[in-house]
Amino acid sequence: MEVLNFLPNQYRETGALEINHNYLIEQFADYPLIFKKIEKLIQVGDYTLGAEVNRFESRFAEIVGTKFALGVGSGTDALFLSLRALDLQPGDEVITTPYTFYATIGAIVTAGGRPVFVDVKEDYNIDPKKIEAAITPKTKAILPVHWSGNPCDMDEITALAEKYRLPIVEDSCHGIMAKYKGRGLGSFGFGCFSMHPLKNLNVWGDGGVICTNDEGTYKKLSLLRNHGLINRDQCEVWAYNSRLDTLQAIVANHLLDKIAHITDARIENAQYYDQALGSISGIKVPPRSPDKKAVYHIYVIQAERRNELQDHLVKSGVDAKVHYPIPMHLQPAAKPWGYKVGDFPRAESICNSVISLPVHEFITPEQRTFVVERVKEFYS
Amino acid sequence: MRQESIPFVNLGIQFERFQNEIIEKFKQISSAGHYILGAEVEAFEHEFAEYCQAKFALGVANGADALFLVMKALGVGAGDEVITAPNSFLASAGAIVATGARATFCDVAEDYNLDPEKLAAAITPKTKGVMPVHLTGLPADMGPILEVANKHGLFVLEDCAQAVGARYKGKRIGAIGTAGAFSLHPLKNLHVHGDGGAITTNDEKLYQKLKLLRNHGLKNRDECEIWGYNSRLDAIQAAIARIKLRHLDEMTTRYQTIADNYWRGLKGVVRVPDRPDFAEGVYHNFVIQVERRPQLQEYLSSKGIETKIHYPIPIHLQQPARKWGHQEGDFPVAERQVTKILSLPIYPELTDEQVSRVISEIRFFYEAT
């Protein structure tokens, strides 16, 4: 069985594994049901936006707990369009974390902004105590990343945002169904979600969502995703094409029925890992908080001799991955900004030691026991 | 007797034709779990490049992104200008503005495409490139456009959104200029079941850069070479495009036959499209120019015949362009055309009888009233 990742060439290497990160074949085992709905759509020929997208948007808004949700082309576009809605000017700064996926930074740069990095805490998320020192007159937004689906410290971040009158753009791409003190991630400002095939709620290609409680923002974003058109013939602002495909909305609607189960199963697997791995010397499980409902898009821990552990696991048939080995400020693309090793020590040490274990809803109790045994065996 | 209606588009019947093939492909892809890039996208790119007589092709998220990514890869940004046609779809100018540059315009000729004779006058020291639009599926006059562009060191980005398969002096459009940007939107001649786009070029360096830009700037899983975007053609859409590409020539011939019937049937009654010697159009739209347009449109509609206007407001008179100081009279040819143009139904599944009926109703309208 081949394994999918976002780059086609590297998953071939891990093609023979028993316990995979990828679970798409299992997840879409009922694809004939989805085909039935797609066939109907195709016969009507209504491929762009329309009823199925509207239905998805209202259901998604309800899950997150916002007034509005808007389907867009991808999680990257969700971030980009949100920042565009803030009308960033060249030189404007956006505060974010160096421990994230490239798209967070790409979106800021595309929107004309300059990312300003703040180091992370032990839970891999932005350290609210360090944000204030990074705020300048040019700061236009705070962009926390809920890494792995684990909520950031939103009370502290919200307090700062209010104090400095800065909007919050949440990178919730990993965090559908996650909650902070009972409140849905993605409801604190602009909530940006991805439905890439490897996400907890996933479609058959690229797709994303933006959530907001503000009607004006919602209207602006609606224009920005569809060429700025207020009707077929009139353009109000120069804009983009970034729509959630109607066909993908069908897939998303199908999965929304299952998202509670998907989430619970991931949490159960993660809790098992936490308990079983927490006592192993050599493994560091990040701190968990009762205030935070994490949804484990990936299950990330820190490991001594990480690369060797990864080799050991892969050889044993466990698709262990590293998300990701190089922080953003040390990427080749960040060179012009002049960062150096040591600028964000926590993010750097995390990148050197994190490892991700398969945690999706199709992992069986036997499989997760097997994974734990292989980790124990490595450190014994 | 009440006659059957003739809708402007009818995607349902095209799907019936390819239904089995498409569903089979969907099953294959979903049972393998390959949704992002990968073999289907690569195969589409290879076949599409060959079809367009280009060295390289790249699948992207949509036609607007195709334009945007090429300009980004060519370094277009704030302070630059790119010249395009004022009568195109908004996305042509929108993509220019998305790069940070300003869209400037050059009036069109009677064939609805950039008027090469007016191009030089539109160039300023800030101009970085020209974006001719092969509007309605008819190639712009690329020879003189390239000549002017080369003289001024400008890139030429072909907006091929409406013109897949069209030929300019025997050569397919898409890699005649620096690069070509295609849309695979459901209403295009070659289309998928959602948004999709493609870029063609003969320039390997440009191709390599575009490959980075569409996928987060990643040179491998862990290293980001340049901050990029996410603009990928979905694998399932690539699979659909491949199925349809195999039938594109045959569908194009049908578009051309219908256009020819309209042309002969309506010549002398309304203004039929120019058919310049240098171009072989693919008639994404069949656009006529008419007197008393609202009345004609209403009459046809009463007979069940749906028509459209592509597009009633030229780009330079759209709200956001007026902020650049544009006003009526800036591009008189485009402005005159928009008051008269009307697009007739045209798609491969339209029957000869339906075409004849559209022709006779238009003739009847002008003869009887």
Contact B61 A74 (CB under 8 A): yes
The burial class, CB within 10 Å (0-12 / 13-18 / 19+), for A139 is middle
Residue B215 DSSP one-character state? B
Q: Are the Cβ atoms of B36 and A197 closer than 8 angstroms?
A: yes
Say which residues have a Cβ less than 8 Å from residue B101's Cβ, sequence separation at least 6.
B71, B76, B77, B78, B79, B80, B81, B82, B128
Rounded CA-CA distance A252/A200 in Å is 11
A163 Cβ contact list (under 8 Å, min separation 6): none
Q: What contacts A38, CB < 8 A, 6 or more positions away?
A: A247, A250, B26
Rg (alpha carbons) of chain A, rounded to whole number: 21
Which helix (H) or strand (E) segment holds residue B212: the answer is: helix B204-213
**Which member of B64, B89, B230 has the closest CB to residue A206?**
B230
Measured between CB atoms, does A352 come within 8 Å of chain B?
A: no
User: Which has the closest alpha carbon to A330: A352, A306, A309?
Assistant: A352
Least CB-CB distance to B312: which of A233, A246, A248?
A233
- Whole-model pTM: value is 0.93
State which residues of chain A have pLDDT below 50.
1-15
Burial profile B20-58: b = 16 or more Cβ within 10 angstroms, e = fewer: ebbbebbeebbebbbbbbbebbeebbebbbebbbbebbb
CA B344 to each of CA A172, B138, B261, B287: distance values in angstroms, whole numbers, following the listed order: 46, 16, 12, 7
pLDDT tens-place string over residues A90-133? 899 999 999 999 999 999 999 999 999 999 999 999 999 999 99
* CA distances, A255 to each of A199, A251, B336, B339, B352 (Å): 12, 6, 51, 48, 44
Ranges under pLDDT 70 in chain B: 1-2
Give dist(CA A186, CA A132) in Å, integer: 22
| Residue position matching structure tokens 């002398």 | B268
Instruction: Report yes or no: A148 and A299 within 8 Å, Cβ to Cβ.
Output: yes
Determine phi and psi for A202, rounding to 5 degrees.
-130, 155
DSSP assignment letter at A341:
T
Distance between CA atoms of residues A186 and A173, nearest Å: 9
**Alpha carbon of residue B148 to chain centroid:** 23
Extended strands (E) in B138-178: 155-159, 167-168, 171-172
Task: Indicate which of A23, A110, A241 best probes the interface with B, i.e. most B CBs within 10 Å of its own CB.
Answer: A241
**Cβ neighbour number for residue B325 with a 10 Å cutoff:** 8
The beta strand positions in B173-264, using DSSP E, are 179-183, 197-201
> Does the distance separating the beta carbons of A333 and B224 come in below 8 Å?
yes
- List b or e across A76-90, with b for residues whose CB sees 16 or more CB atoms inside 10 angstroms: bbbbbbbbbbbebee
Question: What is the C-alpha separation between A81 and A194, in angstroms, rounded?
Answer: 13
* Residues of B whose CB is below 8 A from A5: 221
Which residue type sits at B89?
A: F
Of B31, B223, B315, the CB nearest to A25: B31
Residue A182: what residue type?
A: G
Task: Please give the Cα distance from B210 to B215 (Å, whole number).
Answer: 9
The first and second tokens of residue B251, run together, are 């569908």
Q: What is the DSSP letter of B182?
A: E
Tell me the shortest Cα–Cα distance from A211 to chain B, in angstroms.
Answer: 19
ipTM: 0.91
Per-residue pLDDT of A172-200, as tens digits, reads 999 999 999 999 999 999 999 999 998 99
The pair of structure tokens assigned to B184 is 């695979």
Residues A76, B216: C-beta atoms closer than 8 Å? yes
The CB density around residue B213, as the number of other CB atoms within 10 Å, is: 25
> What value, to the nearest 5°, has the Cα angle with vertex B141 and ends B136 and B144?
155
The whole-number pLDDT of residue B10 equals: 85
Which one-letter DSSP state was computed for residue B345? Answer: P
CB B287, CB B112: distance < 8 Å: yes
What is the SS3 assignment for A331?
Answer: coil
Candidates A196, A225, A238, partner chain B, best to mutate (most B CBs within 10 A): A238
Say if B64 is an interface residue toward chain A (CB within 8 Å): yes
Closest by CA position to B190, among listed B252, B257, B235: B252
Q: Give the H or E element holding residue B32.
A: helix B11-32
Task: For B77, list phi and psi in degrees, rounded to 5.
Answer: -165, -165
C-beta separation of A300 from A124 below 8 A: yes
A85: left (phi over 0), alpha (psi -120 to 50) or beta: alpha
**Which residue of chain A comes nearest to B96, CA vs CA?**
A238
- The DSSP output letter for A149 is G
Cα(A89)–Cα(B98) distance, rounded to whole angstroms? 13
C-alpha dihedral over A367, A369, A370, A376, to 10 degrees? 150
The closest alpha carbon to B307, from B283, B339, B285, B274, belongs to B285
Residues in A touching B64 (Cβ below 8 Å) = 227, 240-241
Output the CA angle B220-A317-A263, nearest 5 degrees: 80
pLDDT value at position A16?
53
The residues in B 6-35 lying below 8 A from A, measured between CB atoms, are: 9-12, 15-16, 19, 22-23, 26-27, 29-35
CA nearest to A339, candidates A348, A83, A79? A348
Q: Is residue B286 a contact partner of residue B262, using CB atoms and an 8 Å limit?
A: yes
Token pair for residue B172? 């397919």
Which residue has tokens 């006058």? B121
